[in-house]
Structure 1
Amino acid sequence: MPIAGWCVATATSIVLSSFALSPVLNAARADDELPDLDQLPAAEVAVTTTSPPAPAPAAPEHPAPSASSSTSEPSRAVPSKTRRKPSSKPAATTAPAPPATTRPSTTTENGWTVTMGDDGVKTYVRSFRCDGGQAVIKMTSAGTVALVTATPADGYTVQKTGSDTNLAIYFTSTARSFVLHAQWWNGAPLVEISEVGG
């Protein structure tokens, strides 16, 4: 009996949610049916903030007759529509794409993925693999070194030692060990991989 009640409750909730979501699903558009971003009325929103100052001076001129004030309000709406059209030009200037371009540009140098920060410091990131595992190292042109991730291979353990300027990652098993030694050296990132006890 409890199972039958659960089935009825579940079926009812499915029917209700399908009914509630049907207007949303029917109104959904495919990606190819969406309007172009340049055609969106974002400029009208910016214009409505500039159009209220113009009706404010016009408001004191027409309030004297109360009957004409009701007719003057629709006439105010017409000039605001005409003001929206010329302000589409400033909308092009108010919708700049520079924030998207402020992301640091990414380049590759000697296998390192390099990004330049706003402060002029380059960040270098690279993955290194050996029989003992894999490590991702991050360095900056300011001389700092950091371990992003280290994943040991089966049968190995991982250990990090050193400082933020001179770093060593050990992948150790009972028979073999690998050391990744990372530091900023002569104006460039340097990582050496050595096998110990092989």
Structure 2
Amino acid sequence: MRRGLVHVLAWTLATGAAVTLSWWGVHTVMAGTAYDPPRALPLTAGDAKVRDSEPPTASATSRPAPTPTRPSSTPSPSSSRTTDSREPAGPTAPSPSSPATPAGPSGEVKSYDTDGGRVVFDLGRTSASLVSATPGAGWSMQVWKTESWIRVEFASGADRVSVFCTWHDGPPRVEIGTY
């Protein structure tokens, strides 16, 4: 009996040491990688008021909508321009005098705070898109998208919070359910 107990104790200590050493090695390697959870910055009431009073502008991640071109008999300055090897090729920034327009048919950007996290939708006239979804501390998140609805579900243990945006039979509407 005593001999069996010594074997079990030795096995437990050896297994615990191996697991600890493995965890420490993996943790050390993974500490500086891109696998850290994203951090969302909180918005204050003052930020929301300023944002609502200003016209929408293009963000760093959106692209301006392409403008239709008309064929003309005289070449425009931009089409006759040759690329100089000293000048970087690529998109140019819009001039300060021209207003920037977001890509696509954007509408009103609304955020919905729930017990499980925060969801932000871009609500257009006939459709919607998910801008961001950030789970709260201790909550996980799952997203479903189709042609006519988007569902974001936050889960923590047995608690569930669902944010459901539909637009199949009219303008987008958002429903929040807790179960």
TM-score, normalisation: structure 2: 0.40
Higher relative CO (CA 8 A, sep ≥ 6), structure 1 or 2? 2
Structure having the higher helix fraction is 1
The structure number with the bigger radius of gyration is 1
TM-score, normalisation: structure 1: 0.37
